[in-house]
Amino acid sequence: MNNTGRTSWKLVLIPFSWLYGLVIWIRNTLYDNGILKSASFPIPVISVGNITVGGTGKTPHVEYLAELLHSKFKVATLSRGYKRRTRDFRIASAESNVSEIGDEPLQIKKRFPGIDVAVDRKRANGIRELMSLAPWLEVILMDDAFQHRSVRPGFSILLIDYARPIDRDYLLPAGMLREPASNRKRANIILVTRSPERIKPIELREYANRMNLSMGQHLFFTTMRYGNLAPVYPESTGRNAAWFKKHAGGVLIVAGIANPRPLRQYARSINTNITELFFPDHHEYSRKDMERISNTYLELLDSHGEILVLTTEKDAMRLRDHKPEPKVRDAMHAVRIHVHFLNNDKDEFDRQILNYVSNNKRNSILYQGENS
């Protein structure tokens, strides 16, 4: 669809965005005025979320926070467990799978086996369950929780994709906003994610000015850096990116993610001969999907020689439910993503997070519960 067609559709949808915005405004007003109740808890609760549909890199940032905090505090993460088959509160174990807790919580548990990873559709109930089962906890990270007003976090982090500035977007369905951009005022920190590495200082200042920060808010810019390749199947022989750059004749991307652009850019750094098999976000791979992946790989193997089958850590959690033939398994690797702060702002971000948790440890504030 060309730009004229997209603009026409947007104009048709704008009245529905106004209606949606009215519903969101009423809901937020009820929470702001205490008519709908928000629970608060005697433990530091850090919310990480966004106000747009699609990926902004929440999970890598939650992992960054978990890594920052778990060496100093007893940490738990809590999310709803998107597309899991269970519905009630669950806490991950070494035997948990995607069907039980969802792909992103499972990814976090695999990366940080020593922290408690829980899922619950009702965040307030999830926090109560965690505090009951793990009374030693000192901080809870709530994943994808900016819209979940039933819990009043002590500290809120809002993520915005650099390429999709919220001040130039529309509410659903005409745009990608879940709620008005002005509601960014609820965040203590705004993280502009997936920022260009070589962004000019004047561009950073212009972006910051557009955010119109409230008193006490802080703005940071991050980018994603790709790390090591890891075999999707632990029993497979892993190879690093340097080996594939030297020996591979192409890359087959297999992924179900909201924003494939960064993964595509990384694949091109290995080999410019790219074949893509993209699926919907959080896709549950079927036997038919695996046959398609295997057949595509074998065709490419015949025509191009050695092939890297590249996927994400999140997709790897679901792909492991299937066992393709050994040749295909050995070619499948997931790339690890790391968060990098621009402007040497890492230390300042870390300081703000650590200070919040240190100053608000359990029992340092009164438990207010749901009636606060």
**Same domain, yes or no, for 68 and 109?**
yes
Is 30 a member of any domain? yes
User: What percent of the chain has pLDDT above 70?
Assistant: 95
Strands (E), the chain: 45-49, 75-79, 90-91, 116-119, 139-143, 155-161, 189-193, 218-231, 250-255, 274-278, 307-312, 332-341
Dump pLDDT digits (tens) for 226-245. Answer: 999 999 998 898 899 999 99
Q: Which amino acid is at 105?
A: P
Give the integer Cα–Cα distance in Å for 341 and 221: 6
Question: Average pLDDT of 29-56?
Answer: 94
Could you tell me if 199 and 234 lie in one domain? Answer: no
Instruction: Give the residue, 162 or 5, on which the prediction is more confident.
Output: 162
Q: How high is the mean pLDDT of the chain?
A: 92
Q: Is 366 among the domain residues?
A: no
SS3 assignment for 259-317: CCHHHHHHHHHHCCCEEEEECCCCCCCCHHHHHHHHHHHHHHHHHHCCEEEEEEHHHHH
Confidence of residue 1 (pLDDT cuts 50, 70, 90): low
Task: Give the confidence band of 363 by pLDDT, cuts at 50, 70, 90.
Answer: low
Residue 281 is part of which domain span?
226-339
Is residue 185 within 8 Å of residue 214, measured between CB atoms? yes
Confidence of residue 55 (pLDDT cuts 50, 70, 90): confident
pTM tops 0.85, yes or no = yes
Shared domain check, 136 and 261: no
Residue with token string 């702001």: 32
Region 288-315: what's the mean pLDDT?
96
Is residue 292's pLDDT more than 80? yes
Element counts in the chain: helices (H) and strands (E) = 12, 12
Contact (CB, 8 A) for 241 and 229 = yes
**CB-facing half-sphere around the CA of 143: CA atoms within 13 A:** 31
Do 278 and 204 belong together in one domain?
no
Same domain, residue pair 110 and 178: yes
Which pLDDT band holds residue 371 (cuts at 50, 70, 90)?
very low
Report the number of distinct structural domains present in the chain: 2
Place of tokens 């890598």: 60
Q: Is the pLDDT of residue 5 over 60?
A: no
Query: Do 182 and 240 belong to one domain?
Result: no
- Both tokens of 108, joined, read 């976090």
Say yes or no: 202 and 272 in one domain: no
Same-domain status, 54 and 187? yes
